[in-house]
Amino acid sequence: MRSIAVINQKGGVGKTTTAVNLSAALADLGKRVCVIDLDPQGHASLHFGVVAREGDKTIYHVLSGTATLRQARRNISDRLSVVPSHLDLAAAEVELAGEVGRDAILRDRIRADDANFDFLIIDCAPSLGVLTLNALTAVKEVFLPLQPHFLALHGLSKLLRTIEIVSERLNPELHLTGVLLCLYESGTRLAAEVSSDVESFFSHQPGMHPAWAGAATFQARIRRNIRLAEAPSYGQSILEYAPMSHGAADYRQLALEVLGVPLEQSHDPVSLYAA
């Protein structure tokens, strides 16, 4: 099973959009996928149309030890499931602070789960607190959505340092797989310049840490598309809400790339009719 944390301490860069729609695209390609919503805002859950009500089990109950992942998991389709979040999860930051081994609680819960998935994708909160550390300790890969804007690059070094520390102290298998450019506007010089800067950064850094030495920019670009912004309000992934849109085509392309299909071999005919 490939386990992936989708993280960025900056909000509004396409993190939840990527976690949800990449998961849906992978499921559409026949993979069994489980999404864990590890953000107290619960946006990934809402994106799937899942609202946790009183008495429902969520990732908060999993972390607190009062429910298993199986008990909290909701089926979205035959191949796609989500472990929803709730605002209560914000309390976990405080409650876990005094726990011994608090950074490895989620990892232990995942290891105890007997479900068989091809992908486990964790949507993290826009912070580098206890919850995100739990995600980084539990997974092997990190995907970093990034808006091609100079301000979006500001926290990159801090995030890389966090990955380094977690890989050295808690999870030696952790590595940054790649950077995904979201809200991309191909016709602007700024997007091209920032894309080039990111690619150059990961290509020419001397003495790169092993946790991110092999990272690269995904060839797929997630273009700015109003359909991606509309889909969450309908509780649907972009593949359900607007399957002929640029957003759907871009996430299908990303899913194929994640599966190892070269971009030149993964042309999606649906994109020819994208709105």
Sequential pLDDT tens for the chain (275 residues): 999 999 988 878 889 999 999 999 999 999 999 999 999 999 999 999 999 888 899 999 999 999 999 999 999 999 999 999 988 888 877 887 777 788 999 999 999 999 999 999 999 998 888 999 999 999 999 999 998 876 666 778 888 889 999 999 999 999 999 999 998 887 677 777 777 877 777 776 666 888 988 888 999 999 999 999 999 999 999 999 999 999 999 999 999 999 998 665 555 444 433 43
Residue 221's DSSP bridge partners are: 181
pTM for this prediction:
0.92
The vertex-117 CA angle with 112 and 123, nearest 5°, equals 85
Q: What is the pLDDT of residue 39?
A: 94
**pLDDT score at 152:** 65
Assign 3-class secondary structure to 71-103. Answer: HHCEECCCCEEEECCCCCHHHHHHHCCCCCCHH
Instruction: Write the DSSP symbol of residue 50.
Output: -
Tokens 């990892």 belong to residue: 107
In order of start, what are the domains of the chain with their CATH numbers?
A: 2-264 (3.40.50.300)
**Sequence-ordered list of residues with C-beta below 8 angstroms from that of 24, at least 6 positions apart, any chain:** 80, 237, 238, 239, 240, 251
Q: How many residues does the chain have?
A: 275
pLDDT at 269: 42
Give the span between the Cα atoms of 262 and 259, in whole angstroms: 9
223 φ, ψ (degrees, to nearest 5):
-70, 150
Contact 231, 242 (CB under 8 A): yes
User: Please, are residues 89 and 59 in contact by the beta-carbon 8 Å criterion?
Assistant: yes
User: Which pLDDT does position 133 carry in this prediction?
Assistant: 93
How much is the pLDDT for 275?
38
